[in-house]
Chains A and B, each alone.
Chain A
Amino acid sequence: MKRSVPLIITFLTGFFLVVAFFVPHEPFGELEQRLLVWFAIVSGFTMLLGIDNLIRSHARRIARTNTGWGHSIVLLMGLVVTVVVGVIGFSRLGSPFHIHSPFMFVYTHVIVPLQGTMFALLAFFIASASYRAFRARNTVATLLLISALIVMLGRIPIGAAISDFFPAAQEWIMDVPQLAAKRGIQIGAALGAVSMSLRIILGIERSYLS
Protein backbone atom coordinates (compact mmCIF):
# COMPACT_ATOMS: atom_id res chain seq x y z
CA MET A 1 0.00 0.00 0.00
CA LYS A 2 2.72 2.46 1.01
CA ARG A 3 4.90 1.66 -2.00
CA SER A 4 2.69 -0.10 -4.53
CA VAL A 5 0.01 2.63 -4.79
CA PRO A 6 2.56 5.39 -5.56
CA LEU A 7 4.24 3.12 -8.13
CA ILE A 8 0.87 2.51 -9.83
CA ILE A 9 0.05 6.25 -9.78
CA THR A 10 3.43 7.09 -11.34
CA PHE A 11 3.04 4.40 -13.99
CA LEU A 12 -0.50 5.42 -14.94
CA THR A 13 0.15 9.18 -15.13
CA GLY A 14 3.39 8.74 -17.06
CA PHE A 15 1.89 6.10 -19.35
CA PHE A 16 -1.23 8.17 -20.15
CA LEU A 17 0.87 11.25 -20.91
CA VAL A 18 2.96 9.27 -23.39
CA VAL A 19 -0.16 7.69 -24.94
CA ALA A 20 -1.82 11.13 -25.20
CA PHE A 21 1.21 12.33 -27.15
CA PHE A 22 0.98 9.55 -29.72
CA VAL A 23 -2.84 9.30 -29.82
CA PRO A 24 -4.18 12.87 -30.04
CA HIS A 25 -7.83 11.70 -30.21
CA GLU A 26 -10.63 11.15 -27.70
CA PRO A 27 -10.40 10.13 -24.90
CA PHE A 28 -6.63 10.81 -24.79
CA GLY A 29 -6.63 14.03 -26.78
CA GLU A 30 -7.39 16.42 -23.96
CA LEU A 31 -5.89 14.20 -21.27
CA GLU A 32 -2.45 15.83 -21.54
CA GLN A 33 -3.88 19.31 -20.99
CA ARG A 34 -6.03 18.09 -18.10
CA LEU A 35 -3.08 16.34 -16.41
CA LEU A 36 -0.94 19.45 -16.80
CA VAL A 37 -3.62 21.54 -15.04
CA TRP A 38 -3.77 18.96 -12.28
CA PHE A 39 0.02 19.04 -12.05
CA ALA A 40 -0.06 22.84 -11.61
CA ILE A 41 -2.67 22.54 -8.86
CA VAL A 42 -0.79 19.84 -6.93
CA SER A 43 2.48 21.76 -7.34
CA GLY A 44 0.72 24.85 -5.98
CA PHE A 45 0.04 23.05 -2.72
CA THR A 46 3.71 22.12 -2.37
CA MET A 47 4.38 25.85 -2.11
CA LEU A 48 2.63 25.74 1.27
CA LEU A 49 5.03 23.05 2.44
CA GLY A 50 8.00 25.17 1.39
CA ILE A 51 6.69 28.29 3.09
CA ASP A 52 5.90 26.28 6.22
CA ASN A 53 9.44 24.94 6.27
CA LEU A 54 10.88 28.45 5.87
CA ILE A 55 8.71 29.85 8.67
CA ARG A 56 9.46 26.97 11.06
CA SER A 57 13.20 27.15 10.45
CA HIS A 58 13.41 30.90 11.09
CA ALA A 59 10.88 30.89 13.94
CA ARG A 60 13.08 28.27 15.64
CA ARG A 61 16.12 30.50 15.12
CA ILE A 62 14.29 33.45 16.70
CA ALA A 63 12.99 31.37 19.63
CA ARG A 64 16.49 30.08 20.40
CA THR A 65 18.04 33.53 19.75
CA ASN A 66 20.63 31.83 17.56
CA THR A 67 23.16 33.91 15.63
CA GLY A 68 21.40 36.12 13.11
CA TRP A 69 17.97 35.81 14.73
CA GLY A 70 17.33 39.50 13.99
CA HIS A 71 17.71 38.77 10.27
CA SER A 72 15.17 35.99 10.62
CA ILE A 73 12.70 38.58 11.94
CA VAL A 74 13.34 40.69 8.82
CA LEU A 75 12.78 37.62 6.62
CA LEU A 76 9.50 36.70 8.31
CA MET A 77 8.30 40.31 8.29
CA GLY A 78 9.10 40.55 4.57
CA LEU A 79 7.14 37.35 3.96
CA VAL A 80 4.12 38.41 6.03
CA VAL A 81 3.98 41.97 4.64
CA THR A 82 4.19 40.71 1.04
CA VAL A 83 1.38 38.21 1.57
CA VAL A 84 -0.76 40.81 3.39
CA VAL A 85 -0.34 43.45 0.66
CA GLY A 86 -1.11 40.74 -1.90
CA VAL A 87 -4.37 39.93 -0.15
CA ILE A 88 -5.17 43.66 0.18
CA GLY A 89 -4.53 44.16 -3.54
CA PHE A 90 -6.80 41.23 -4.34
CA SER A 91 -9.65 42.36 -2.08
CA ARG A 92 -9.53 46.05 -3.10
CA LEU A 93 -8.58 45.92 -6.78
CA GLY A 94 -9.55 42.41 -7.76
CA SER A 95 -5.95 41.37 -8.41
CA PRO A 96 -2.71 41.65 -6.45
CA PHE A 97 -1.03 42.26 -9.81
CA HIS A 98 -3.08 45.37 -10.55
CA ILE A 99 -0.74 48.25 -11.44
CA HIS A 100 -1.94 50.32 -8.44
CA SER A 101 -1.82 47.42 -6.01
CA PRO A 102 0.51 47.73 -2.98
CA PHE A 103 1.75 44.28 -3.94
CA MET A 104 3.14 45.71 -7.18
CA PHE A 105 4.79 48.47 -5.14
CA VAL A 106 6.66 45.75 -3.21
CA TYR A 107 7.49 43.98 -6.48
CA THR A 108 8.77 47.11 -8.24
CA HIS A 109 10.64 48.74 -5.38
CA VAL A 110 11.85 45.76 -3.36
CA ILE A 111 11.98 42.54 -5.40
CA VAL A 112 13.20 44.00 -8.72
CA PRO A 113 16.10 46.02 -7.26
CA LEU A 114 17.11 43.20 -4.89
CA GLN A 115 17.01 40.59 -7.64
CA GLY A 116 18.71 42.79 -10.23
CA THR A 117 21.50 43.81 -7.88
CA MET A 118 21.97 40.27 -6.57
CA PHE A 119 22.53 39.00 -10.12
CA ALA A 120 24.63 42.05 -11.01
CA LEU A 121 26.83 41.23 -8.02
CA LEU A 122 27.59 37.91 -9.69
CA ALA A 123 29.46 39.83 -12.41
CA PHE A 124 32.20 40.56 -9.88
CA PHE A 125 32.36 36.98 -8.66
CA ILE A 126 32.41 35.61 -12.20
CA ALA A 127 35.20 38.05 -13.05
CA SER A 128 37.08 36.98 -9.93
CA ALA A 129 36.56 33.29 -10.78
CA SER A 130 37.75 33.91 -14.32
CA TYR A 131 40.97 35.44 -13.00
CA ARG A 132 41.71 32.11 -11.33
CA ALA A 133 40.29 29.84 -14.05
CA PHE A 134 41.55 31.63 -17.15
CA ARG A 135 45.12 30.49 -17.13
CA ALA A 136 46.47 29.22 -20.39
CA ARG A 137 47.87 26.05 -18.83
CA ASN A 138 47.20 23.84 -21.84
CA THR A 139 45.65 24.01 -25.30
CA VAL A 140 42.01 23.48 -24.30
CA ALA A 141 42.25 25.99 -21.42
CA THR A 142 43.70 28.49 -23.91
CA LEU A 143 40.76 27.86 -26.24
CA LEU A 144 38.36 28.60 -23.38
CA LEU A 145 40.21 31.81 -22.58
CA ILE A 146 40.37 33.00 -26.21
CA SER A 147 36.70 32.27 -27.00
CA ALA A 148 35.56 34.01 -23.79
CA LEU A 149 37.68 37.08 -24.57
CA ILE A 150 36.45 37.29 -28.18
CA VAL A 151 32.80 36.95 -27.08
CA MET A 152 33.22 39.59 -24.36
CA LEU A 153 35.00 42.03 -26.68
CA GLY A 154 32.62 41.35 -29.53
CA ARG A 155 29.58 42.27 -27.47
CA ILE A 156 30.73 45.73 -26.38
CA PRO A 157 31.28 48.88 -28.46
CA ILE A 158 35.00 49.02 -27.66
CA GLY A 159 35.46 45.64 -29.37
CA ALA A 160 34.04 47.01 -32.62
CA ALA A 161 36.11 50.18 -32.17
CA ILE A 162 39.32 48.10 -31.96
CA SER A 163 38.48 45.94 -34.97
CA ASP A 164 35.49 44.70 -36.95
CA PHE A 165 36.92 41.25 -36.37
CA PHE A 166 35.59 41.00 -32.80
CA PRO A 167 31.83 41.41 -33.48
CA ALA A 168 32.04 39.12 -36.52
CA ALA A 169 34.13 36.48 -34.71
CA GLN A 170 31.84 36.66 -31.69
CA GLU A 171 28.82 36.02 -33.87
CA TRP A 172 30.52 33.10 -35.64
CA ILE A 173 31.64 31.51 -32.36
CA MET A 174 28.12 31.78 -30.92
CA ASP A 175 26.49 30.47 -34.11
CA VAL A 176 28.84 27.61 -34.96
CA PRO A 177 31.21 26.00 -32.40
CA GLN A 178 29.26 27.18 -29.36
CA LEU A 179 25.99 26.04 -30.88
CA ALA A 180 27.51 22.70 -31.96
CA ALA A 181 28.69 21.78 -28.45
CA LYS A 182 25.51 23.11 -26.83
CA ARG A 183 23.43 21.07 -29.25
CA GLY A 184 25.47 17.93 -28.59
CA ILE A 185 25.08 18.42 -24.83
CA GLN A 186 21.34 19.08 -25.17
CA ILE A 187 20.78 15.97 -27.31
CA GLY A 188 22.78 13.86 -24.85
CA ALA A 189 20.99 15.31 -21.82
CA ALA A 190 17.57 14.89 -23.44
CA LEU A 191 18.29 11.23 -24.30
CA GLY A 192 19.45 10.71 -20.71
CA ALA A 193 16.24 12.31 -19.42
CA VAL A 194 14.17 10.06 -21.69
CA SER A 195 15.87 6.92 -20.38
CA MET A 196 15.52 8.10 -16.77
CA SER A 197 11.83 8.86 -17.36
CA LEU A 198 11.33 5.36 -18.73
CA ARG A 199 13.02 3.90 -15.65
CA ILE A 200 10.69 5.92 -13.41
CA ILE A 201 7.51 4.99 -15.29
CA LEU A 202 8.45 1.31 -15.30
CA GLY A 203 9.19 1.41 -11.57
CA ILE A 204 12.90 0.59 -11.89
CA GLU A 205 13.93 3.94 -10.42
CA ARG A 206 12.20 4.36 -7.03
CA SER A 207 14.41 6.77 -5.11
CA TYR A 208 11.61 9.35 -4.99
CA LEU A 209 9.70 7.03 -2.64
CA SER A 210 12.36 7.00 0.05
Chain B
Amino acid sequence: MNEFLQQLINGLSLGAVYALIALGYTMVYGVLRFINFAHGDVFMVGAFAGMHFGRWLKPFAAAWPEWLFASVVLLGSMLFCAVLGILIERLAYKPLRERPRLTVLITAIGVSLLLEYSGQLIFGAAPRGFPSLITSTSISGLGGLRASNIQLIVLVVTGLLLLGLHLIVMRTRLGLAMRALSLNPTAARLMGVNTNVVISFTFGLGSALAAAGAIFYASLYQAIDPFMGVLPGMKAFVAAVLGGVGSLPGAMVGGLILGVVETLVVGYSKLLGIPPGYRDAVAFVILILILLFKPSGLFGKTQREKV
Protein backbone atom coordinates (compact mmCIF):
# COMPACT_ATOMS: atom_id res chain seq x y z
CA MET B 1 0.00 0.00 0.00
CA ASN B 2 2.77 2.36 0.95
CA GLU B 3 4.63 1.72 -2.21
CA PHE B 4 1.46 2.35 -4.14
CA LEU B 5 0.99 5.76 -2.49
CA GLN B 6 4.62 6.51 -3.16
CA GLN B 7 4.16 5.76 -6.85
CA LEU B 8 1.01 7.83 -6.82
CA ILE B 9 2.92 10.91 -5.64
CA ASN B 10 5.55 10.40 -8.33
CA GLY B 11 2.86 9.83 -10.93
CA LEU B 12 0.85 12.88 -10.00
CA SER B 13 3.81 15.25 -10.28
CA LEU B 14 4.60 13.87 -13.74
CA GLY B 15 0.89 13.98 -14.58
CA ALA B 16 0.74 17.64 -13.56
CA VAL B 17 3.29 18.41 -16.26
CA TYR B 18 1.33 16.44 -18.85
CA ALA B 19 -1.84 18.23 -17.79
CA LEU B 20 -0.26 21.66 -18.22
CA ILE B 21 0.88 20.81 -21.74
CA ALA B 22 -2.37 19.05 -22.63
CA LEU B 23 -4.35 22.21 -21.81
CA GLY B 24 -2.58 24.06 -24.60
CA TYR B 25 -3.50 21.41 -27.17
CA THR B 26 -7.08 21.35 -26.05
CA MET B 27 -7.57 25.13 -25.88
CA VAL B 28 -6.14 25.67 -29.34
CA TYR B 29 -8.26 22.81 -30.65
CA GLY B 30 -11.28 24.47 -29.06
CA VAL B 31 -10.93 27.73 -30.97
CA LEU B 32 -9.27 26.59 -34.21
CA ARG B 33 -10.16 22.88 -34.50
CA PHE B 34 -6.64 21.78 -35.21
CA ILE B 35 -3.86 20.12 -33.24
CA ASN B 36 -0.87 22.39 -32.80
CA PHE B 37 1.93 19.85 -33.14
CA ALA B 38 4.54 22.50 -32.38
CA HIS B 39 3.19 22.79 -28.84
CA GLY B 40 5.64 20.26 -27.39
CA ASP B 41 8.49 22.33 -28.77
CA VAL B 42 7.15 25.49 -27.20
CA PHE B 43 7.44 23.46 -23.99
CA MET B 44 11.11 22.81 -24.81
CA VAL B 45 11.73 26.51 -25.46
CA GLY B 46 10.15 27.20 -22.08
CA ALA B 47 12.82 25.11 -20.37
CA PHE B 48 15.69 26.84 -22.17
CA ALA B 49 14.15 30.26 -21.67
CA GLY B 50 13.90 29.48 -17.95
CA MET B 51 17.51 28.34 -17.79
CA HIS B 52 18.97 31.35 -19.59
CA PHE B 53 16.71 33.85 -17.91
CA GLY B 54 17.66 32.34 -14.54
CA ARG B 55 21.37 32.63 -15.31
CA TRP B 56 21.00 36.22 -16.39
CA LEU B 57 18.88 37.09 -13.38
CA LYS B 58 21.05 35.36 -10.80
CA PRO B 59 23.57 38.22 -10.17
CA PHE B 60 20.73 40.69 -9.60
CA ALA B 61 18.86 38.34 -7.35
CA ALA B 62 21.60 37.33 -4.98
CA ALA B 63 19.73 38.68 -1.99
CA TRP B 64 16.34 37.32 -3.00
CA PRO B 65 14.73 34.45 -1.17
CA GLU B 66 14.69 31.24 -3.20
CA TRP B 67 10.93 31.17 -3.75
CA LEU B 68 10.95 34.68 -5.20
CA PHE B 69 13.76 33.85 -7.61
CA ALA B 70 12.01 30.65 -8.71
CA SER B 71 8.71 32.46 -9.19
CA VAL B 72 10.29 35.22 -11.28
CA VAL B 73 12.06 32.65 -13.48
CA LEU B 74 8.78 30.75 -13.86
CA LEU B 75 6.82 33.87 -14.80
CA GLY B 76 9.58 35.09 -17.12
CA SER B 77 9.61 31.81 -19.00
CA MET B 78 5.81 31.78 -19.18
CA LEU B 79 5.78 35.30 -20.59
CA PHE B 80 8.47 34.46 -23.14
CA CYS B 81 6.57 31.42 -24.37
CA ALA B 82 3.26 33.30 -24.45
CA VAL B 83 4.85 35.77 -26.86
CA LEU B 84 6.41 32.92 -28.84
CA GLY B 85 3.06 31.12 -29.10
CA ILE B 86 1.32 34.28 -30.29
CA LEU B 87 4.05 34.89 -32.87
CA ILE B 88 3.87 31.33 -34.17
CA GLU B 89 0.12 31.68 -34.66
CA ARG B 90 0.42 35.09 -36.32
CA LEU B 91 3.23 34.13 -38.68
CA ALA B 92 2.58 30.49 -39.49
CA TYR B 93 -1.08 29.64 -38.89
CA LYS B 94 -3.03 32.85 -39.39
CA PRO B 95 -2.22 33.17 -43.12
CA LEU B 96 -3.71 29.68 -43.52
CA ARG B 97 -6.94 30.37 -41.59
CA GLU B 98 -9.19 29.80 -44.61
CA ARG B 99 -7.25 26.83 -45.95
CA PRO B 100 -8.00 23.15 -45.33
CA ARG B 101 -7.15 21.90 -41.85
CA LEU B 102 -4.54 19.52 -43.23
CA THR B 103 -2.48 22.44 -44.55
CA VAL B 104 -2.30 23.97 -41.09
CA LEU B 105 -1.52 20.59 -39.53
CA ILE B 106 1.44 20.05 -41.84
CA THR B 107 2.59 23.60 -41.16
CA ALA B 108 2.49 22.83 -37.44
CA ILE B 109 4.81 19.88 -38.00
CA GLY B 110 7.09 22.22 -39.92
CA VAL B 111 7.12 24.73 -37.08
CA SER B 112 7.87 21.87 -34.69
CA LEU B 113 10.93 20.81 -36.71
CA LEU B 114 12.02 24.42 -37.05
CA LEU B 115 11.98 24.90 -33.29
CA GLU B 116 13.76 21.60 -32.61
CA TYR B 117 16.60 22.16 -35.04
CA SER B 118 16.92 25.86 -34.24
CA GLY B 119 17.26 24.73 -30.64
CA GLN B 120 19.97 22.29 -31.66
CA LEU B 121 21.77 25.01 -33.59
CA ILE B 122 21.62 27.50 -30.73
CA PHE B 123 21.98 25.29 -27.66
CA GLY B 124 23.73 22.23 -29.09
CA ALA B 125 22.38 18.71 -29.16
CA ALA B 126 23.84 17.50 -25.88
CA PRO B 127 21.59 17.48 -22.80
CA ARG B 128 22.29 20.28 -20.34
CA GLY B 129 21.84 20.28 -16.62
CA PHE B 130 18.97 22.44 -15.49
CA PRO B 131 19.98 24.58 -12.50
CA SER B 132 17.94 23.86 -9.43
CA LEU B 133 15.73 26.81 -8.65
CA ILE B 134 14.76 25.46 -5.27
CA THR B 135 17.14 23.46 -3.11
CA SER B 136 15.86 19.94 -3.16
CA THR B 137 15.02 18.37 0.16
CA SER B 138 13.30 15.17 0.97
CA ILE B 139 10.17 15.27 3.05
CA SER B 140 9.07 12.22 4.98
CA GLY B 141 5.43 11.81 5.65
CA LEU B 142 3.17 9.37 7.41
CA GLY B 143 4.08 5.72 7.11
CA GLY B 144 7.50 6.30 5.62
CA LEU B 145 6.20 8.07 2.51
CA ARG B 146 8.86 10.22 0.92
CA ALA B 147 8.47 13.03 -1.53
CA SER B 148 10.84 15.72 -2.63
CA ASN B 149 9.81 19.27 -1.86
CA ILE B 150 9.99 19.89 -5.59
CA GLN B 151 7.30 17.31 -6.28
CA LEU B 152 5.02 18.92 -3.75
CA ILE B 153 5.71 22.42 -5.03
CA VAL B 154 4.97 21.24 -8.57
CA LEU B 155 1.63 19.84 -7.46
CA VAL B 156 0.65 22.93 -5.49
CA VAL B 157 1.70 25.45 -8.14
CA THR B 158 0.02 23.40 -10.86
CA GLY B 159 -3.13 23.47 -8.77
CA LEU B 160 -2.88 27.27 -8.51
CA LEU B 161 -2.30 27.64 -12.25
CA LEU B 162 -5.30 25.44 -13.03
CA LEU B 163 -7.43 27.49 -10.65
CA GLY B 164 -6.23 30.67 -12.33
CA LEU B 165 -7.05 29.24 -15.75
CA HIS B 166 -10.49 28.21 -14.54
CA LEU B 167 -11.17 31.75 -13.32
CA ILE B 168 -9.95 33.28 -16.58
CA VAL B 169 -12.08 30.97 -18.70
CA MET B 170 -15.22 31.05 -16.56
CA ARG B 171 -15.23 34.56 -15.12
CA THR B 172 -13.64 36.98 -17.56
CA ARG B 173 -14.98 38.58 -20.70
CA LEU B 174 -12.19 37.12 -22.83
CA GLY B 175 -12.79 33.70 -21.30
CA LEU B 176 -16.46 33.91 -22.20
CA ALA B 177 -15.47 34.95 -25.72
CA MET B 178 -13.13 31.94 -25.91
CA ARG B 179 -15.92 29.58 -24.96
CA ALA B 180 -18.36 31.26 -27.35
CA LEU B 181 -15.83 31.09 -30.18
CA SER B 182 -15.24 27.39 -29.62
CA LEU B 183 -18.99 26.69 -29.59
CA ASN B 184 -19.95 28.73 -32.64
CA PRO B 185 -17.37 30.92 -34.41
CA THR B 186 -19.90 32.61 -36.69
CA ALA B 187 -22.20 33.59 -33.86
CA ALA B 188 -19.24 34.80 -31.80
CA ARG B 189 -18.19 37.09 -34.64
CA LEU B 190 -21.73 38.41 -34.92
CA MET B 191 -21.62 39.30 -31.22
CA GLY B 192 -18.61 41.52 -31.89
CA VAL B 193 -15.86 39.10 -30.91
CA ASN B 194 -12.61 39.92 -32.69
CA THR B 195 -11.54 36.36 -33.41
CA ASN B 196 -7.89 37.31 -33.97
CA VAL B 197 -7.62 38.73 -30.47
CA VAL B 198 -9.22 35.68 -28.87
CA ILE B 199 -7.08 33.27 -30.89
CA SER B 200 -3.90 35.12 -29.92
CA PHE B 201 -5.01 35.12 -26.30
CA THR B 202 -5.63 31.37 -26.45
CA PHE B 203 -2.20 30.67 -27.93
CA GLY B 204 -0.57 32.91 -25.34
CA LEU B 205 -2.36 31.21 -22.47
CA GLY B 206 -1.65 27.68 -23.71
CA SER B 207 2.01 28.43 -24.37
CA ALA B 208 2.46 30.01 -20.95
CA LEU B 209 1.08 26.87 -19.31
CA ALA B 210 3.44 24.73 -21.40
CA ALA B 211 6.35 26.87 -20.19
CA ALA B 212 5.28 26.32 -16.59
CA GLY B 213 5.13 22.60 -17.31
CA ALA B 214 8.65 22.81 -18.76
CA ILE B 215 10.10 24.51 -15.69
CA PHE B 216 8.50 21.84 -13.50
CA TYR B 217 9.65 19.01 -15.75
CA ALA B 218 13.18 20.37 -15.88
CA SER B 219 13.20 20.84 -12.11
CA LEU B 220 12.05 17.27 -11.58
CA TYR B 221 14.43 15.61 -14.06
CA GLN B 222 17.21 18.24 -14.14
CA ALA B 223 18.24 17.71 -17.75
CA ILE B 224 17.04 19.54 -20.84
CA ASP B 225 17.78 19.23 -24.54
CA PRO B 226 16.28 20.55 -27.79
CA PHE B 227 14.28 17.37 -28.34
CA MET B 228 12.92 17.12 -24.82
CA GLY B 229 9.51 18.34 -26.00
CA VAL B 230 8.86 15.51 -28.42
CA LEU B 231 7.79 12.72 -26.06
CA PRO B 232 6.09 14.83 -23.37
CA GLY B 233 4.37 16.68 -26.19
CA MET B 234 3.04 13.50 -27.73
CA LYS B 235 2.04 12.12 -24.35
CA ALA B 236 0.23 15.33 -23.45
CA PHE B 237 -1.56 15.06 -26.78
CA VAL B 238 -2.65 11.57 -25.74
CA ALA B 239 -3.75 13.02 -22.40
CA ALA B 240 -5.87 15.61 -24.24
CA VAL B 241 -7.47 12.88 -26.37
CA LEU B 242 -8.01 10.74 -23.28
CA GLY B 243 -9.83 13.59 -21.55
CA GLY B 244 -11.71 14.56 -24.69
CA VAL B 245 -10.09 17.10 -27.00
CA GLY B 246 -11.60 20.51 -26.42
CA SER B 247 -12.46 19.87 -22.78
CA LEU B 248 -10.39 21.72 -20.17
CA PRO B 249 -11.27 19.45 -17.23
CA GLY B 250 -10.62 16.56 -19.61
CA ALA B 251 -7.08 17.72 -20.30
CA MET B 252 -6.37 18.14 -16.59
CA VAL B 253 -7.74 14.73 -15.62
CA GLY B 254 -6.27 13.05 -18.72
CA GLY B 255 -2.82 14.40 -17.87
CA LEU B 256 -2.97 13.20 -14.29
CA ILE B 257 -4.26 9.75 -15.27
CA LEU B 258 -1.54 9.36 -17.86
CA GLY B 259 1.23 10.40 -15.45
CA VAL B 260 -0.02 8.02 -12.77
CA VAL B 261 -0.54 5.05 -15.10
CA GLU B 262 2.87 5.51 -16.68
CA THR B 263 4.56 5.68 -13.28
CA LEU B 264 2.65 2.70 -11.95
CA VAL B 265 3.54 0.55 -14.94
CA VAL B 266 7.22 1.33 -14.40
CA GLY B 267 6.96 0.94 -10.62
CA TYR B 268 5.27 -2.43 -10.87
CA SER B 269 7.12 -3.59 -13.95
CA LYS B 270 8.24 -6.84 -12.34
CA LEU B 271 4.78 -7.67 -11.14
CA LEU B 272 3.21 -6.83 -14.50
CA GLY B 273 5.95 -8.49 -16.49
CA ILE B 274 6.47 -5.34 -18.54
CA PRO B 275 10.10 -4.18 -18.73
CA PRO B 276 10.43 -0.55 -17.49
CA GLY B 277 11.83 0.43 -20.89
CA TYR B 278 8.28 0.23 -22.20
CA ARG B 279 7.19 3.27 -20.18
CA ASP B 280 6.86 5.41 -23.28
CA ALA B 281 4.63 2.82 -24.91
CA VAL B 282 2.04 3.15 -22.15
CA ALA B 283 0.66 6.43 -23.46
CA PHE B 284 0.26 5.08 -26.94
CA VAL B 285 -1.45 1.89 -25.83
CA ILE B 286 -3.88 4.16 -23.97
CA LEU B 287 -4.32 6.23 -27.14
CA ILE B 288 -5.18 3.14 -29.17
CA LEU B 289 -7.62 1.90 -26.53
CA ILE B 290 -9.33 5.28 -26.26
CA LEU B 291 -9.67 5.60 -30.02
CA LEU B 292 -11.12 2.09 -30.19
CA PHE B 293 -13.57 2.29 -27.33
CA LYS B 294 -14.36 5.94 -26.58
CA PRO B 295 -13.03 8.23 -29.31
CA SER B 296 -14.75 11.26 -27.79
CA GLY B 297 -12.66 10.83 -24.62
CA LEU B 298 -13.69 10.85 -20.98
CA PHE B 299 -15.18 14.36 -20.93
CA GLY B 300 -15.78 14.75 -24.64
CA LYS B 301 -19.25 15.42 -25.91
CA THR B 302 -20.46 13.65 -28.96
CA GLN B 303 -21.57 16.43 -31.26
CA ARG B 304 -25.29 16.72 -31.57
CA GLU B 305 -27.23 19.55 -33.03
CA LYS B 306 -30.76 20.66 -32.57
CA VAL B 307 -32.38 21.70 -35.79
| Bind each other | no
